[in-house]
């Protein structure tokens, strides 16, 4: 059974070194890099929630949720939607476990978590993916995300909470 476990000093190591396929590397940052973002982001007015994705006890992926990405990353190019909304910032399933439905289940669980509004109420969850990331794009659209615009190589999409 797929479930999310918030990462702490004990279990972070379970997922730190999980890897995507080589051809997917350009679609998602390395997990170590993402964890650094979680650490620094949580020292701002925003919030970052790093999760391990587990199949029973086995770590199979990594997921990162942020609230108010503009605050968290101090990114002047952050889209308008970043302000006061939740961001499904990163998701990856290790190359050994892809194509088994784990990614879809993890996104559902992420939305369930977001709907508990852990850092305050918000209207939307947004997501950002590379135009060429067809697997991710099809997955999000099939789950009800709607595209709201492009930014360079990326597409932004939202779902109402």
Ligand X SMILES: CC(C)(COP(=O)(O)OP(=O)(O)OC[C@H]1O[C@@H](n2cnc3c(N)ncnc32)[C@H](O)[C@@H]1OP(=O)(O)O)[C@@H](O)C(=O)NCCC(=O)NCCS
Q: Applying CB under 6 A, which residues contact ligand X?
A: 20, 24, 27-28, 91-93, 98-104, 129, 133, 135-136, 138-139, 142
Closer CB to ligand X, residue 112 or residue 120? Answer: 112
CA within 13 Å, CB half, 128: 21
Give which of 59, 58, 41, 60 is closest to 49, Cα–Cα: 41
Would you state the structure tokens that stand for residue 96, as one six-digit string? 């050994």
In degrees, to the nearest 5, what angle opens at C-alpha 98 toward C-alphas 72 and 8? 40
Closer CB to ligand X, residue 120 or residue 149? Answer: 149
Closer CB to ligand X, residue 33 or residue 120? Answer: 33
Closer CB to ligand X, residue 67 or residue 102? Answer: 102
Q: How far is the CB of 33 from ligand X (least distance, A)?
A: 13
Q: How far is the CB of 6 from ligand X (least distance, A)?
A: 19
As beta bridge partners, residue 91 has: 63
Q: How far is the CB of 4 from ligand X (least distance, A)?
A: 13
Q: How far is the CB of 100 from ligand X (least distance, A)?
A: 5
Residue entry with tokens 């990353």: 73
Give φ, ψ of 96 to 5 degrees: -70, -20
Q: How far is the CB of 34 from ligand X (least distance, A)?
A: 11
Strands (E) across the chain are located at: 2-6, 47-55, 58-67, 86-93, 124-130, 146-151, 154-160
Closer CB to ligand X, residue 109 or residue 139? Answer: 139
Residue nearest to ligand X (CB): 103
């Amino acid at each position: 059974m797929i479930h999310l476990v918030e990462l702490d000093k004990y279990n972070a190591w379970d997922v730190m070194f999980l890897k995507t396929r080589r051809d997917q590397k350009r679609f998602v940052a390395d997990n170590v890099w993402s964890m650094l973002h979680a650490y620094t982001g949580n020292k701002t007015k925003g919030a970052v929630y790093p999760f391990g994705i587990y199949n029973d006890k086995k770590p199979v992926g990594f997921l990162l949720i942020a609230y108010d990405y503009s605050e968290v990353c101090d990114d002047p190019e952050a889209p308008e939607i970043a302000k006061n909304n939740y961001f499904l910032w990163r998701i990856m399933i290790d190359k050994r476990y892809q194509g088994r439905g784990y990614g879809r289940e993890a996104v559902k669980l992420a939305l369930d978590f977001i709907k508990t509004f852990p850092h305050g109420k918000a209207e939307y969850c947004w997501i950002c993916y590379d135009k060429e990331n067809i697997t991710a794009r099809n997955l999000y659209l099939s789950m009800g995300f709607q595209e709201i615009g492009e930014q360079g190589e990326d597409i932004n999409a939202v779902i109402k909470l």
